[in-house]
Amino acid sequence: MEVFRMLSDEDKQWLSNVVRAVGEKVERLDEKVERNTTALVEGMEHQRVALLEQMEHQRTALLEQMEHQRTALLEQMEQQRIGILERVERAETTLLAEFHKWASPFELRVHSHSAVLRALDAEMEALRERVKKLEEPPAA
């Protein structure tokens, strides 16, 4: 403070003006920093909102694509299921047709063999009767 007393009034006035000017410059710089900070925060918020919108758009597009792929996959699975059912039905039909081809002649053979066996049984019975009559002692 001793130095301050040694200054003339004119020097004190000049120094006061310089201090005031520096203070005003500091205030202007503070205001500028505040404006820049506000602009930066607003810009960042704008970017955040834009990114969120972009992410939502991409999410929606991906969901639509996934739904389309799911639908296509379900359609493909249904077509494959129908194809498998058709092949199974053809295989069943073929198997039944082949079995019928085999069974019809076999059934005829069984019936004809059965008829032959019945005829043989009847003949055998008749022969038994004849042998029995021949073996019986003559009645007096």
pLDDT digits (tens, 9 = 90+) for 35-51: 999 999 999 999 999 99
Token output for 89? 């039905």
Q: Residue 83 is part of which domain span?
A: 8-135
Q: Decide: 40 and 48 in contact? Cβ < 8 Å.
A: no
- What mean pLDDT do residues 95-124 have? 86
How many structural domains are present in the chain? 1
What's the pLDDT tens digit per position in 56-97? 999 999 999 999 999 999 999 999 999 999 999 999 999 999
pLDDT at position 107 over 90: no
Cα dihedral sign, 80-86-90-93: positive
Whole-Å CA distances, 52 to 43, 58, 123: 14, 10, 103
Query: Which DSSP letter does residue 7 get?
Result: S
Is 140 inside any structural domain? Answer: no
Is 118 inside any structural domain? Answer: yes
